[in-house]
Structure 1
């Protein structure tokens, strides 16, 4: 029940469920691994609710218990979880250290060739991206993508997500031609899928990235057109006041302003 409520985004109900579950597990003397799992869930819920101190407390307690059980995938997963939390808090250097810890554990037990390693490399790439260390971000994203391709195939959504991240890093380096090639390839691959509407948000996000390149190049009409397409797709799925919709509206207004269409902006 608790995991289901996480998936549907009912975090307050999740919090109540897992808090009660933790009390019950302690009372009946549940296995340590079960208690760790519940603390991990509580840490994740508090992170989503932006209760970062509470999140860190549960994650830290879980790690302390997990480390007593040896080096393992669950330990690496917890290091990753705290790393993501630290990025949310703006502590990018701390986040990177936790991702390095996770990577070290996985190299010991998996030989650097596993989906968990791919996730960790993706997280490292995100941390480098946040530090504007775009070359290092690209290296991490490419390493992650190689593992994902091997396990999932060239056109899997996670592979395309990694490819998009590489495009964003090229954009950060102001290499707009390279970024555009990547985003156009990603868009093409999403559209070729048998059920592209399933990936509508990913498609709209990619169109949004293409719009950003047009904006940087001064191609304001193309930028406006792409932002409008992206916004139309997002509003079919998300609430019009969702942060993604509002961000696209802001970008659209700025592109129109750059066209000197002040009334429309």
Structure 2
């Protein structure tokens, strides 16, 4: 039930994209879109024998809009161009490429006086180590990052979150909570998506410690945030799944059923009818009905039908 700081919806995880800093115009960024993307001309402008054409992606799929919003919020706006490509490589699981890129970046930045950007690079290297389950190594990089980032910089909240997550992964729950609380000190500046993820991280640690009531309270806070942003239904569904698992642990099958039903409703609106996650969710709802003594043969048969279709 552990929630990373950055989450992409299930159906977007395999979409390739990157922001490239190796471009001809040094003051611009380049975003490479997947093959098959379509655009309309938004406007044109001629200036000093150059023609500037503004393009707007056009696609009826809401998931593509959500992907673009996510890139804008979590990569293009948060990090300088020198660091964002490394962060994307880590996110995409290209760890060896990311490590080589970050090492070169750190080597170059050591010759400059820009402590903030080298702090970003240290944090990304720490995040890379965490992804490789080298938590002690990650913590040393995060501490270096904190030394470079001033207390009034919102990016410190992200570093605190990463440190808390590393300690949580080591099951040092009290220390993890300390760092999550340091991140929460920036609550007024954190965007809603990240704040919801922070609440989910609190919930995960409370669950580790056996404090299920506190864990559920944090999940409800995250749900309130997701509920105010209808476009982010996938994160909404993941929070409901975490909540359902906790209700199952508390042997409250009725509330677990309600949470799983919410997930099912979201999936029915967002994924194809033969999607394997639908089969899984139908089976889970049917299982809870069975535990409650009201076996739903219709749901179980739908699950079996989905599995049959996926195997065909």
Normalising by structure 2, report the TM-score.
Answer: 0.62
Greater shift in the superposed pair: 250-259 or 65-74 = 250-259
Do the aligned partners of residues 100 and 208 (structure 1) sit closer, same or farther apart at CA in structure 2, a change above 3 Å counting?
Answer: same
- Counting only pairs closer than 5 Å after superposition, residues 61-210 of structure 1 correspond to structure 2 as 61-70=104-113, 72-106=115-149, 110=150, 112-149=151-188, 151-152=189-190, 156-191=192-227, 193=228, 196-210=229-243
In the alignment, which residue of structure 1 is the partner of 2:262? 229
Query: Is contact 1:113–1:147 with CA below 8 Å preserved after alignment?
Result: no
Give CA-to-partner distance per residue, 1:72-91, whole Å, 9 cap, x none.
21111111111111122121
Q: Structure 1: how far apart are the matches of 2:87 and 2:169? A: 21
Aligned residues: 234
1:134 Cα deviation (Å)?
1.5
Structure 1 stretches of 5 or more lacking a match?
A: 1-6, 32-36
In the alignment, which residue of structure 1 is the partner of 2:34? none
- Flag the structure with more relative contact order, 1 or 2, with Cα contacts below 8 A and sequence separation at least 6: 2
Greater shift in the superposed pair: 252-261 or 81-90 = 252-261
Two-structure CA RMSD over aligned residues (Å)? 3.7
1:152 Cα deviation (Å)?
5.0
Q: Structure 1: how far apart are the matches of 2:222 and 2:83? A: 34
- Name the structure with the higher helix share: 1
Normalising by structure 1, report the TM-score.
Answer: 0.72
Query: Is contact 2:180–2:198 with CA below 8 Å preserved after alignment?
Result: yes
Greater shift in the superposed pair: 43-52 or 249-258 = 249-258
The match for 1:54 among 73, 97, 104 is 97
Q: Structure 1: how far apart are the matches of 2:274 and 2:82? A: 32
Q: Structure 2: how far apart are the matches of 1:61 and 1:73? A: 16
Do the aligned partners of residues 169 and 251 (structure 1) sit closer, same or farther apart at CA in structure 2, a change above 3 Å counting?
Answer: farther
In the alignment, which residue of structure 2 is the partner of 1:4? none
Do the aligned partners of residues 42 and 116 (structure 1) sit closer, same or farther apart at CA in structure 2, a change above 3 Å counting?
Answer: closer
Do the aligned partners of residues 38 and 61 (structure 1) sit closer, same or farther apart at CA in structure 2, a change above 3 Å counting?
Answer: farther
Query: Is contact 2:90–2:128 with CA below 8 Å preserved after alignment?
Result: yes
In the alignment, which residue of structure 1 is the partner of 2:284? 252
Please list every run of at least 4 consecutive aligned residues from structure 1 whose deviation after the TM superposition is greater than 6 angstroms: 239-243, 260-263
Q: Structure 1: how far apart are the matches of 2:82 and 2:263? A: 38
Q: Structure 2: how far apart are the matches of 1:57 and 1:247? A: 41
Do the aligned partners of residues 247 and 90 (structure 1) sit closer, same or farther apart at CA in structure 2, a change above 3 Å counting?
Answer: farther
Query: Is contact 1:128–1:136 with CA below 8 Å preserved after alignment?
Result: yes
Q: Structure 2: how far apart are the matches of 1:38 and 1:116? A: 15
Do the aligned partners of residues 142 and 58 (structure 1) sit closer, same or farther apart at CA in structure 2, a change above 3 Å counting?
Answer: same
- Name the structure with the higher strand share: 2
Structure 2 stretches of 5 or more lacking a match?
A: 1-11, 28-79, 304-312
Query: Is contact 2:102–2:125 with CA below 8 Å preserved after alignment?
Result: yes
Greater shift in the superposed pair: 90-99 or 246-255 = 246-255
